[in-house]
């Protein structure tokens, strides 16, 4: 069975091909001002204040995922109160913090290569620096209960809490038989481009998922599409995404490989593997009001992140100069603002269960 694919707009909606001049004129201010006001208002209403503009940019992506997933954080049919949850490549920790807020009986661990600096973190959420491409350090003496390690003691300042303060856990060379710590739910989002070997990632995840638990992978694809051929108008944008994928392939951490996740998870031993695909417009071209708003959010995100996505791969791998890249990205930005091109990308969610 192929992936379930959600429509780009409601069945009764028509494409918005003829925007009036005023709407075109105000697009830039709408994308770069009103949206951020709305997002930061939502952040404050959610009760947590985020640290700096960079966090704001990443929260916009988190907000887009919430819109795409109808305010859900995940698609897998997990237990309502998973005991232990692991968020790989947690980034700024948005997903882990919100999951911990919603599941206060769960112990949530977020890991990344960089430290997570946040002003407010739930007591049931901890972060640590770790590389998920290396051997996972979550082991416990074989005589202990590997499914329920003691939760960390609450701390007044747990911005960078460390799961290894837990007496049941160790990352040192073991002096006795050990077993993996098991998690009821392992989640990843936007780690494509950071993974050299997916087979090893799936094997490690399978080893550390509790029987009956789930692994879920979420990613926004690097590719652009249209259903009516108008992507051919966006010549420079299509060239950019092809070059980006090629550079990532040469670098050894290829983008655009999400289509192989389902098979990879099944080969690792996961069962009941499901794949769901959502279309995300790259500008507010759809007529449907909800999808138009989603296109505005995504347009802002892409315009802000074009350079950070491109800089290292183009200058270090493809050996472009910074000046050449700047010229390209300006043209790409203009292509993406042209709503005569009905461009969209895809969010792909793949999840699977470990047999009990």
Q: What's the pLDDT score for residue 59? A: 77
In a domain, 17, yes or no: no
Please state the length of the chain.
356
| CA distance linking residue 346 with residue 156, whole number of Å | 41
In a domain, 14, yes or no: no
Q: Which residues pair with 214 in a beta bridge?
A: 185, 353
- Where is 23: in which H helix or E strand? helix 21-29
3-state class (DSSP) for residue 353: strand
3-state class (DSSP) for residue 174: coil
Read off the CATH number of the domain in which 258 is found. 3.40.50.150
In a domain, 15, yes or no: no
Beta-carbon neighbour count of residue 159 at 10 Å?
15
- Separation of CA 47 from chain center: 22
DSSP per position, 124-146: TEEEEE--TTS----EEETTS-T
Query: Tens of pLDDT along the chain (356 residues)?
Result: 566 554 443 322 333 333 344 433 433 444 444 545 554 444 444 444 443 434 445 678 999 999 999 999 999 999 999 999 999 999 889 999 999 999 999 999 999 888 766 668 999 999 998 888 888 887 665 555 555 444 444 333 343 334 444 433 334 344 556 788 999 999 999 998 889 999 999 999 999 999 999 999 999 999 999 999 999 999 999 999 999 999 999 999 999 999 999 999 999 999 999 999 999 999 999 999 999 999 999 999 998 889 888 999 999 999 999 999 999 999 999 999 999 999 999 999 999 999 99
In a domain, 16, yes or no: no
CA contacts within 13 A on the Cβ side of 34: 10
In a domain, 236, yes or no: yes
Question: Domain limits at 343?
Answer: 4-9+22-353
Nearby residues of 64 by Cβ (< 8 Å), 6 or more positions away: 280, 294, 297, 298, 301
Beta-carbon neighbour count of residue 260 at 10 Å?
12
- Please give the backbone phi and psi of residue 264, each rounded to the nearest 5 degrees, phi first: -65, -40
Whose tokens are 């799961």? That residue is 163
| CA distance linking residue 39 with residue 53, whole number of Å | 12
Instruction: Return the exposure string of 296-313: e unless at least 16 CB atoms fall within 10 Å of the residue's CB, then b.
Output: bbbbbbbbbebeebbeeb
| CA distance linking residue 178 with residue 80, whole number of Å | 29
Among 299, 281, 301, CA closest to 224: 281
Both tokens of 59, joined, read: 């929260």
Look at the chain and report how many structural domains it folds into.
1
Does the predicted model carry a pTM greater than 0.75? yes
Q: Are 91 and 129 in contact (CB under 8 A)?
A: no
């Amino acid at each position: 069975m192929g992936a379930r694919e959600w429509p780009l707009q409601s069945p009764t909606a028509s494409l918005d091909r003829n925007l009036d001049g005023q709407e075109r004129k105000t697009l830039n201010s709408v994308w770069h001002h009103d949206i951020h006001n709305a997002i930061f208002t939502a952040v404050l209403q959610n009760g947590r204040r985020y640290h700096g503009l960079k966090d704001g940019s990443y929260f916009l992506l988190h907000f887009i995922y919430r819109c795409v997933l109808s305010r859900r954080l995940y698609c897998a049919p997990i237990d309502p109160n998973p005991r232990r949850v692991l968020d790989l490549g947690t980034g700024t920790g948005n997903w882990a913090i919100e999951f911990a807020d919603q599941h206060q009986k769960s112990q949530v661990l977020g890991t990344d290569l960089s430290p997570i600096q946040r002003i407010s973190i739930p007591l049931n959420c901890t972060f640590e620096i770790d590389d998920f491409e290396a051997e996972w350090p979550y082991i416990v003496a074989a005589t202990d209960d590997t499914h329920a390690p003691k939760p960390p003691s609450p701390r007044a300042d747990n911005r960078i809490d460390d799961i290894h303060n837990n007496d049941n856990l160790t990352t040192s060379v073991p002096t006795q038989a050990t077993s993996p710590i098991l998690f009821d739910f392992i989640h990843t989002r936007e780690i494509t481009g950071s993974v050299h070997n997916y087979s090893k990632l799936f094997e490690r995840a399978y080893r550390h998922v509790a029987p009956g638990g789930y692994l879920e992978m979420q990613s926004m694809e690097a590719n652009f599409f249209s259903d009516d051929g108008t992507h051919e108008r966006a010549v420079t944008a299509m060239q950019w995404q092809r070059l980006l994928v090629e550079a990532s392939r040469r670098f050894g951490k290829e983008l655009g490989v999400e289509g192989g996740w389902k098979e990879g998870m099944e080969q690792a031993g996961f069962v009941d593997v499901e794949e769901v695909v959502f279309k995300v417009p790259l500008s507010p071209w759809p007529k449907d009001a909800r999808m138009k708003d989603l296109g505005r959010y995504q347009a802002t995100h892409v315009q802000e992140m074009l350079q950070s996505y491109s800089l290292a791969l183009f200058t270090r791998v493809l050996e472009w100069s910074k000046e050449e890249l700047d010229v390209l990205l300006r043209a790409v930005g203009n292509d993406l603002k042209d709503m005569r091109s009905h461009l969209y990308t895809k969010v792909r969610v793949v999840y699977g269960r470990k047999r009990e």
